[in-house]
Structure 1
Amino acid sequence: MTSYPLRTYEDVRETLLSKGELALLDVREEDPHAQCHPLFAANFPLARIELDACTCLPRRDVPIVLFDDGEGLAARAFERFAALGFRQVALLAGGLDGWIRAGGEVFRDVNVPSKAFGEFVEARRHTPSLSAEALDALQKSGADVVVLDARRFGEYRTMNIPGSVSVPGAELVLRARALAPDPATRIVVNCAGRTRSIIGAQSLVNAKLPNPVAALRNGTIGWTLAGKTLEHGSERRFDIDAGRDPHTLDASRRSAHALATRAGVRRTSLDEAARWASEASRTTYRFDVRTPDDYEAGHAPGFRDAPGGQLVQETEMYAPVHGARVVLFDDDGVRANMTASWLAQMNIETYVVDGANRGDLTETGPYRPERPQPAPLPTISPQALAALLDDPSHGVVLLDVAPSAKFVKAHIPAAHWILRSHLAPGYDDLRNLPDARRYVLTCGSGALAAFAAADVAALTGKSVSVLDGGNAAWTRAALPTEGGASQLASPPIDRYRRPYEGVGNAREAMQAYLDWEYGLVAQLDRDGTHGFFVI
């Protein structure tokens, strides 16, 4: 039996308290992670290690501690990290159960550090809030009120408060003065639940906006529980030039810079940030906090796109190395400083780039993550695969390892969805499918399928190939797709269904989620490792 390096609960806790670098990684799928995990454990599923490791863990000597709940995933993850060249990898002694038995506090849901921080902010600053009933009455009376939705635009389009405008979190301070130029206009900030409403409203308060500001209490959940109707498919978003007037921009910039300074944010340059990123002894994350459109139009080399509101909302996923250095960039002096002010209060060493200009934004397009090359395997074109699938005598079984939600929405008609982490001895998922003479693997782009195909080849010894370009190439070839969950070979535990996302959620689940959020501050006190503060 293989012996792995171990680190104890006490050791991990001491590292967290001392702000030493540590990536505490839960290598289970998202749903089991959401049921129970330590506060600063980032969900890092075994299935995606090759895709995400080099981006999320940019230094090969970073200390990594892996855990599962007895499934054996952590040992498999250790081998994958070792194969990628990571040199300080260990398993958590006793896994999740060992953490609990040692007295460690455990949390439910996802993005818990950020959500707990939001509750911490409200408890300390008494962020103004407004009930759904009060907002509805204001709107019906014709009161001068604007509702700004701080979520990502895709979430906003799914469901939104009637009349609201999409202004994702980091854009609020930059845009709000233009969206509500009359100081008498009341501004209400909402999200689906609580965190982005609180952080968004408190951002405007901290920035000394002259308008009366409030968070919509409990967001769209609170609106639904109050019996109010949501809109769907709305397209209202802030004007791209909103907040760019020199007078308005100067006011926003000065207030954001002052807040960042009060929070302990430091300043740096693009050149210094690049030197830091090359250091072997310290992890540095570089994030561009502007909108995805801004980023793709032009960004500085080495910076990853991380819209500021989501970076504060999902901090442990963007930057899973606790104790790392974080550098932020924008082109306006507002979004990076506001985002940095919150990260610093979350006990993260944070810097903002000063002195950059448009000439420094020499790269365009989406972020291109560094990834290892998969083992070479044959590929097959969409047209050739379609021909094989039309003739059952070929004995082809098509496996799709895309996220289960995307599979349910649309997939190649013959495909069976399977968890990559279940492509290993001890799982019956593959054995329960029809006998195959040949397997073909696919996913959205083909990137994950290329790694999963090697797992299938090792497990079965049969011929395996990869759909060239994945499901996207199949769609571009105008070949048919279908939706539905009738061909799930594995349980869809890769995705935790948030009680606040989408539509049709049970009232009991939404209320239970709110009750859980209200209890997070007490859990922070019991855990004792957070280091949060509020200016």
Structure 2
Amino acid sequence: MSTVATRSFHDIRRALLAHEELALIDVREEDPFAQEHPLFAANIPLSKLELDVFARVPRRDTAITLYDDGEGLATLAAARLSALGYSDVALLEGGLAGWRAAGGELFRDVNVPSKAFGELVESERHTPSLAAEQVQALLDAKADVVVLDARRFDEYQTMSIPGGISVPGAELVLRVAELAPNPATQVIVNCAGRTRSIIGTQSLVNAGIPNPVAALRNGTIGWTLAGQQLAHGQQRSFAPVSDTTRASAADRARAVADRAAVARLTREGLAAWQAEPHRTTYLFDVRTPEEFAQGHLPASRSVPGGQLVQETDHVASVRGARIVLVDDDGVRANMSASWLAQMGWQVAVLDGLSTADFSEPGDWQAPLPEQPQVNEIDVDQLHTWLQAPGTVLLDFTTSANYVKRHIPGAHWAIRAQLPQVLEQLPVAERYVLTCGSSLLARFAAVDLQALTHTPVYVLEGGTARWIAAGLPLESGETHLAVARSDRYRRPYEGTDNPREAMQGYLDWEFGLIAQLERDGTHGFHVVR
């Protein structure tokens, strides 16, 4: 690849203020990304670039700017994107250090645009909230109160407020009337920290539900810091709603979307948007994954609405793009769209759909480039090889999956750090690569073979095939070839975080509004 063009901090800032489409991509692993990055940077690690980029940056002539912090990853990423057909790829001038030197604001943590927006909403709308001690007192008194957990169900199961019910954010307006049918019932909305409880609570306020509603101030972090006990493994979830409830909720949601100036599209209008060659249009189905799997609009992606508002940068990685939302009830798409519009996105809801339009069954399948040709072996061959010295097994799954279970003797590795990985490995007669499905391992095999003359093989079907065969497994950090930098440990997940880390996270959230003001590119506006 010839010399890669560069873009400066000022080029990016000008494009953001002009609402032009751009993808500012940090190609480091998630943990270093979370330590500091620009507000609208999207994290697509070099390790998984081929697996993620087609979905997250679908238009091949998008203006893409790549950066790292001096590791040399961005140059490699530029070459890979060029090979994948992306035609407007540049490097950020000076990388992260260049952004800092130019006076650019840097943010910590992940999903920062959404979290900062949540803080702005609370500041401007004075979203009602109750302290953990107040909510505990209501529960102890057996008051007429219902606690709704706005996170994903798996997060809710990990830790939740005793007696709480799992109602992921976009489901709240649709389902609250049947979870709290008495208009006098106090509704409490919680998450682990602040953002989803603020947005969930304000959604109910914006929709004009008759109940008193409040966020659990500081979520499960606040609950823990108050010395109160969390529940684990709860199973309470919502039930189907009646047609009357659905229709009423649809009216409320449509009114909220109209106040936020959400656009409306028909199937024909969507086709026209998608046909425009120089604009990016994302099509997201914001219902539950189970509903999506039963039947969805062809070419749509399943992104439940609450998570979409919480993690917009993770799926819509082109700032300035257009987003079209789909549901089958007029509630979840309109409520989600109302928030995206306030976050500065050009967003529309697809209207006029019938049951017949949801014709495609099954889960969403990520668009992928052609997979490289590699030498494969089956689980029986690997099992035989592992009985004698000489075979070195590398596992490229996420570190969390590796710690949970892996093939005995497997060394955990990060694809983008293969030169460092090789320095930590024993002498090999052959390398065998795996991951959950073998997909990432196939791409890693090409990289590894370029670094060594030792034969490289991929386990057909990956670790999932080994597990299906009933072969032995082990767990723990048994053989880490590099540090676990692939995932940032959120201070609000789990229950074993130090109190100082939890309080530090809350203090950081409180400071986001000041950071937004210093940055000046956010384009957020909060509708009254």
Q: Secondary structure at the match of 2:215?
A: strand
What runs of 5+ residues in structure 1 fail to find an aligned partner? none
Q: Distance between the aligned counterparts of 1:72 and 1:342, measured in 2?
A: 37
Deviations 1:172-193, CA, capped at 9 Å, x for gaps? 0000011000000000000000
**Residue matched to 2:320:** 323
Cα distance change of structure 1 residues 480 and 270 upon mapping to structure 2, 3 Å threshold: farther
Please say if 1:462 is aligned against 2:454: yes
Q: How far apart are the structure 1 equivalents of 2:266 and 2:307?
A: 23
- Matching residue within 398, 401, 406 for 1:406: 401
What percentage of aligned pairs have identical amino acids?
60
User: Helix, strand or coil: the match of 1:174?
Assistant: helix
Superposition map of 1:290-329 within 5 A: 290-329=287-326
> Unaligned 5+ residue runs, structure 2?
none
- CA RMSD for the aligned pairs? 1.0
Alignment check: 8 A CA contact 1:413 1:481 kept: yes
Does the CA contact (< 8 Å) of 1:325 and 1:348 recur in 2? Answer: yes
Instruction: Indicate if the aligned counterparts of 1:175 and 1:238 stay in contact, CA closer than 8 A.
Output: yes
**2:133 aligned counterpart, secondary structure:** helix
* Letter of the structure 2 residue corresponding to residue 17 of structure 1: L
- TM-score normalised by length of structure 1: 0.97
Cα distance in structure 2, aligned partners of 1:205 and 1:526? 30
Contact 1:347 1:531 in 2 (8 A): yes
Cα distance in structure 2, aligned partners of 1:428 and 1:319: 32
* 1:309-342 Cα distance to aligned partner (Å, 9 max, x none): 0000000111010000000000000000000000
Counterparts of 1:430-469 in structure 2, within 5 Å, are: 430-469=422-461
- CA shift for structure 1 position 2: 6.0
Contact 1:380 1:465 in 2 (8 A): yes
The correspondence for 2:345, drawn from 337, 341, 348, is 348
Deviations 1:439-472 (A, max 9, x none): 1110011110010010111111221111111111
Residue matched to 2:69: 69
Provide the C-alpha distance between the structure 2 equivalents of 1:275 and 1:518, rounded to a whole number of angstroms: 42
Partner SS state of residue 184, structure 1: coil
Return the offset for 1:275. Answer: 3.9
- Which of 479, 484, 507 in structure 2 is aligned with 1:492? 484
Q: 1:94, 1:377 → 2: CA distance?
A: 36
Any idea what SS the aligned residue of 1:430 has?
helix
CA displacement, residues 145-187 of structure 1 (integer Å, 9 cap, x when unaligned): 0000000000000000000000000000000011000000000
Residue 169 (str. 1) matches residue 169 (str. 2): yes
1:363 to 342, 360, 365: 360
Q: How does 1:46-65 map to 2 (within 5 A)?
A: 46-65=46-65
1:334-373 CA-partner distances (Å, limit 9, x unpaired): 0000000000000000000101111111111110111012
- Supply the distance in 2 between the matched residues of 1:70 and 1:80 (Cα, whole angstroms): 18
Q: Among 241, 251, 254, which residue is 1:254 paired with? A: 251
The offset of 1:388, in angstroms, is 1.0
Change (3 A) 1:337 1:94: same
| AA in 2 matched with 1:399 | L
**d(CA) in 2 for partners of 1:312 and 1:461?**
47
Does 284-293 or 382-391 show the bigger shift?
Answer: 382-391
Of 270, 274, 277, the residue aligned with 1:277 is 274
Name the residue aligned to 2:15: 15
Task: Name the SS for the 2:489 alignment partner.
Answer: coil
Deviation at 1:378, TM superposition (A): 1.3
Q: Distance in 2 between matches of 1:96 and 1:303?
A: 34
Structure-1 residue corresponding to 2:384:
387
TM-score normalised by structure 2 residue count: 0.99
Contact kept in structure 2, 1:144 and 1:186, CA below 8 Å = yes
Question: Is 1:265 aligned to 2:257, yes or no?
Answer: no
The runs of at least 4 aligned residues of structure 1 exceeding 6 Å deviation read none
Structure 2 residue corresponding to 1:418, chosen from 413, 419, 424: 413
Aligned to 1:133: 133
Matched, 1:231 2:228: no
* Equivalent position to 1:339, from 320, 336, 339: 336
